[in-house]
Structure 1
């Protein structure tokens, strides 16, 4: 219980820090346990793997490189890049056989609600099927479609649309 509380506090601190605006990196003091860096060298902003709880969402992102894959317009076909990310996600899942996943399917705002829910479902299932083909037990994988209801970014331009056409792998607890 103490580990969960400490993890929650750390996550809250990171979220708060990420939301802070109008502060330049050079105005921020160095971390307490890290030596000061010179202004000539950029600071390392990557998360150290020792700071990540094994089997967590952050561990998935650190190990697989991403918890999401993107799709082309009006498509649920996995791109080469998506297959690479999902292969790494499958390898991660093999390391944690008690972890279950929910694959969320999403679409951009174009099209009807019903159409986008169906497209999000096809994207989530394409992702689930790929992971299962990599040896992940299908019983550990659940899918849900949000269609266009939960955009990653706001905006009605191609850049925003591209980020909203996605499937996101979410660590959802212990496999049943």
Structure 2
């Protein structure tokens, strides 16, 4: 049986021509030097700030939290809602921020530890939040800018049934809102 595909035979001259045509095609793709080179780049003169260099947006909750460095939360003794000297300092810092951003409002969240009934802890959390609010108002913050809410024992930050966990959960937390 004979082969049905034709066999291609190149002569030495045909091979040379094919090689020359390939080299010519490749050389046509090579870039040519420009007639004039662009000027050397100078020193960078950009004044744009990189996003990673930016801190929190001024007047935002992130700004409030960053400036408070822990002073956004005050702590209470068992079954108490009185404002002590440490709490007064924290609330004074909060009031200073709120005065700077007079268009911002705040919510004070009252919290309790796990002991006691749900109803008792909701009432105690409300008294804690109101005590913090009243102190802010005494420092010159308009009462209409501050709301309160009690979560009682429903939102603990520390899990556990010991004094260390309970102490962390007896708190009032200030959160800013628009």
Equivalent of 2:155, from 137, 150, 154? 150
- Residue 62 of structure 2 is aligned to residue 58 of structure 1: yes
- Asked if 1:92 corresponds to 2:100, the answer is no
SS in structure 2 at match of 1:146: strand
Question: 1:16 corresponds to which residue?
Answer: none
> In the aligned structure 2, how far is the partner of 1:116 from the partner of 1:90?
27
CA RMSD of aligned residues (A): 1.4
Residues 1:76 and 2:86 aligned together: no
Q: CA deviation at 1:172?
A: 1.7
Does 2:143 match 1:138? Answer: yes
Unpaired runs of at least 5, structure 1: 1-32, 34-47
Could you list the structure 1 runs, at least 4 aligned residues long, displaced by more than 3 angstroms after superposition: none
Deviation track 1:36-76 (CA, whole Å, cap 9, x = no partner) reads: xxxxxxxxxxxx8x511111222112223321111111100
**What secondary structure is seen at the aligned counterpart in 2 of 1:149?**
coil
> TM-score, normalised to structure 2's length?
0.68
Deviations for 1:60-116, whole angstroms, at most 9, x for unmatched residues?
A: 122233211111111001121111000000000000000010100000000000000
How many residues are treated as equivalent by the alignment? 126
Tell me the distance in 2 between the aligned counterparts of 1:57 and 1:77. 26
Q: Work out the CA distance in 2 between the residues paired with 1:91 and 1:100.
A: 13
Distance in 2 (alpha carbons) for counterparts of 1:109 and 1:117: 11
Cα distance in 2, alignment partners of residues 135 and 150 from structure 1: 30
CA distance in 2, matches of 1:142, 1:151: 20
**CA offsets 1:18-49 (integer angstroms, 9 cap, x no match):** xxxxxxxxxxxxxxx9xxxxxxxxxxxxxx8x
Is there any run of 5+ residues in structure 2 with no aligned partner, and where?
1-49
Q: Secondary structure at the match of 1:51?
A: coil
| 2:111 paired residue among 93, 106, 114 | 106
> 2: CA distance between counterparts of 1:142 and 1:91?
17
What corresponds to 1:165 in structure 2? 170
Greater radius of gyration (CA): 2
